[in-house]
Amino acid sequence: IDDAAYDALRRRRSDLAVAWPGLSSENAKVGSAPSRAFAEARHAKPMLSLENAFTPDDVGDFCDAIRSFLSIGLFEPLEFHAEPKIDGLSMSLRYENGELVTAATRGDGQEGEDVTANIRTIKEVPQKLKGKNLPPVVEVRGEVYMTKADFLKLNERQKEAGAQIFANPRNSAAGSLRQKDPSITASRPLGFFAYAWGEISERPEDTQSGMINWFERCGFTTNPLTKMCRSVEELIAFHRKIGEQRAGLDYALDGVVGKFDRGDR
């Protein structure tokens, strides 16, 4: 099913859990268990799922929750780092002393698949971070994806070879990365957008926007459509604009992510 239908079902389930707290919550986790085809890789910090906002009122509630949690006055402005949510495969890249040592899929959020050898074949993933005074340990998180144009070309080659046809760019990116033979992954046109971090021994910037700029200085690609929004209205307007641009973009999206930009978030 598409993302909108999935999100609606997930929200319905959450509402039922609130209305009927006695019901079993054994199936509440979102994500998938790591494949046995790869070694397991436990995340130093969990890769959590995002909360959804479906209406402007939901966005307003999100902002109210931030003000309440951080004791921010009603008239004090809130700044958000807003970015298109790429529909790809979430990835955590661990660097020690600037060198890439481990790459892991999200998996169930606590434990993923060790796909380091395959990740090393993606040009947009630095093997060594640029710059000086790098944190001894930093986990850079982002999305592995495939453009729509490359997806169509890949499926054409797969069809000619009598091989598997992928359903969409996300499936093609996931299938390409989960190859036991890294040379197959290397032959697939995969990209990577950096947008967050996990464990980090020393944070070089205080804000989300500052960290995005730091990722760029380290050699990563970040989404050029990312924008600073200085009010709820700007955040909603950005979401609307991305929705209008969505069909013309060369990569699949499943929404917009808004992150509070202050350092104490």
Supply the residues annotated as catalytic.
Answer: 85
- Calculated CA dihedral for residues 55, 56, 58, 64, nearest 10 degrees: 180
Residue 243 and residue 249 in contact, taking contact as beta carbons nearer than 8 Å: no
Of 59, 84, 50, 58, nearest to 242 (Cα)? Answer: 84
CB within 8 Å of 233: residues ≥ 6 apart: none
Query: In whole angstroms, what is the distance from residue 262 CA to residue 132 CA?
Result: 25
Query: Taking the CA atoms of the chain, what radius of gyration do you get in angstroms?
Result: 19
By three-state DSSP, how is residue 65 classified?
A: helix
Separation of alpha carbons 186 and 121, rounded Å:
5
Asked if 184 and 176 count as a contact pair (C-beta separation under 8 A), the reply is yes
- Please give the C-alpha separations between residue 54 and each of 51, 64, 236, in angstroms, as whole numbers: 10, 16, 11
Within 10 A of 247 (CB to CB), how many other CB atoms are there?
7
Tokens of 88: 């790809």
- Give the C-alpha separation, 114 to 13, whole Å: 31
Give the whole-angstrom CA distance, residue 91 versus residue 68. Answer: 32
Who contacts 167 (Cβ-Cβ below 8 Å, separation ≥6)?
none
